Structure 1
Amino acid sequence: MKHRMSKTGLVLAGLLAVLTMPFAAVAQGLPDLAGRKVVVVTENAYPPLQFIDPKSGEQKGWEYDAMDEIAKRLNFEVEYRNASWDVMIQAVADGQYDIGMNGITINDERKAKVDFSDPYMRSEQFMLVRSDESRFTDAKSFAAFTDGLIGAQPGTTPFYTTVYSVLDGNEQNPRIKLFETFGATILALISGDVDAVLTDGTAGEGYVESSGGGLKMVGGPLGSEDFGFILAKGSDLIAPVDAAIADMKADGTMEKLTVKWFRDYKMGE
């Protein structure tokens, strides 16, 4: 999304998996950050990674659970902030926030501005469509269906995959309808305002399951990507966060979170 967004492949296996372990203040062998405050920014617009629960107003999702667990294992106090995607990377680069979490794809262009943690998830892009869609069955046939519209969030992996792997390489192609959030693209698909949305495979499976038969995925994967947390260049948090990610992969915690949020998550819950 951002990225973002690799699917059935955000594969449960490709995700860094882990069973929870009982836990003291700092996990054995991990750095102790002595209760320091760490400010973490997100957009809250990419369920089930992070979003606002429409019923409770609570911030929740896979990345919140993962970051809370990292904070416990490293003994730091996490403070969450909200910012739009279009300013987030630069704000982290400028030191306004310590960590950014937003399903952010690791790539060289972003590495020029910020440092990334080790990957916490691998994802693949798939086409999500309404279940009664019969005019196209994959990216190639969608490109040939010249009346078809696809929804995307500017500056994200689904946007660039749409431009360069589905359509003609023109970032101003009028067949791409832009939305401020990923959630808005899904709503536009459901309402019929667009005909397709690219999404990570595992997240896509969650949307299909929770749509009551209204959505399906078509075609094969359109490339894979790794997600990571972003930090300012040279941040002293990089090594501790990487150590916590490795620890959570090794003991099954990452896998447990993936099952919770990508298999059991339901839209609107």
Structure 2
Amino acid sequence: MKKLVLLMVSALLVAFAATAFAADGSWNRVKSAGKLVIGLDDAFPPMGYRDASGKLIGFDIDAAEEVGKRLGIKIEWQPTAWDGVIHSLNSKKFDAIWNGMTITDERAKQVAFTKPYIMDGQIAVVKFSEKRFKKIADLKNVKIGAQKGSSALNAVKKLPTAPAELKEYEDNPKALLDLEAGRIDVVVIDNVTGRDFIAKRPGQFKVVPGFISKEPFGVAFRKEDKELREKVQKTLDKMVKDGSLAKISRKWFAEDITNPKKW
């Protein structure tokens, strides 16, 4: 009998702990306020930036607004300095960071991320008419362009074969101009940045299938806000399943880069 009582008590304690874990109050707090406040750097195209009129636009803006619509809450954007964005989140200046934030081990010690919603990283961009390169491994004996001081330079070192020539540029537009003119064969560039350029100049450039390096983007929450994170995650999962996130992706990148099966 004593063993049975102990087992029942243990089961009740486990159930209570699980309930306390799930109901941390974070979702009810946001729901009661009627809004989800999101921190971002508002100068990061195409994820989140301002148009000529000063209006916030971008992939993350559209995706978050759709999540808010489905959850029945408003999205309030809070521009903030990026170098202190995690501190600001944990100081409760906003509820989440949604701004093309790369998931890293170091950041994961400080915040709780959703699953990746976009796989960023370094990619190879070539002319639209290029037929030699079907995959990253085909980039042999080529002239490559990359921005000075960027992650692209490290990515070039990860290629299976060293380039015949590596040219460094002050910015990506200048590298792409040389690519268009045929002075180089490939531009190694950040995925979302490269696809933004491609979307704005259809028929000029394309991406060689595959990533040279991978850097997943996630939405960040305070570690204690498990319920809120789960609510947003489930909504994002539904948007992937019903194709609405893919639709937003095609608007900003001219193709769907939100499907995990393609990563």
Relative to the length of structure 1, the TM-score reads: 0.61
Contact 1:152–1:198 (8 Å) recurs in 2: no
Distance change >3 Å, CA 121–CA 217, structure 1 → 2 = closer
Q: 1:69 aligns with which of 56, 66, 69?
A: 66
Which residue number corresponds to residue 38 of structure 1? 36
CA distance in 2, matches of 1:70, 1:57: 23
| Aligned with residue 84 of structure 2, among 78, 84, 87 | 87
Tell me which residue corresponds to 1:48. Answer: 46
Greater share of residues in strand: 2
Q: Does 1:239 align with 2:230?
A: yes
Instruction: Compute the displacement of 1:206 (Å).
Output: 4.1
Give, in angstroms, the shift of residue 228 of structure 1: 0.9
In the alignment of these two chains, the number of paired residues is 213
Aligned counterparts of 1:224 and 1:176: Cα–Cα separation in 2: 21
Counterpart check, 1:225 vs 2:215: yes
Which has the bigger relative contact order, CA under 8 A and spacing at least 6?
Answer: 1
> Displacement, 1:241?
0.9
Match of 2:20 in 1: none
**Cα RMSD for the two superposed structures:** 4.1
- Which residue does 2:182 correspond to in 1? none
User: For the residues of structure 1 that align with 2:174 and 2:137, how far apart are their CA atoms?
Assistant: 19
Which structure has the greater CA radius of gyration? 2
Are the aligned partners of 1:41 and 1:80 in contact in 2 as well (CA < 8 Å)? yes
Equivalent in 105, 112, 117 of residue 115 of structure 1: 112
Residues 73 and 204 of structure 1: CA distance in aligned 2, closer, same or farther (over 3 Å): same
- Give secondary structure in 2 for the equivalent of 1:33: helix
Amino acid at match of 1:121: I
1:257 equivalent in structure 2: 248
Alignment gaps of 5+ in structure 1: 1-29, 132-137, 169-174, 179-184, 265-269
CA contact (8 A) 1:140 1:166 kept: no
Give the TM-score of the pair, scaled to structure 2.
0.62
What is the alpha-carbon distance in structure 2 between the residues aligned to residue 262 and residue 36 of structure 1? 31
Pair 1:242–1:86, CA change in 2 (3 A) = same
Kept in 2, the 8 Å contact 1:189–1:197? The answer is: no
Matched-pair contact (CA < 8 Å) for 2:146–2:172: no
More helix by share: 2
1:35–1:77 contact (8 Å) kept in structure 2: no
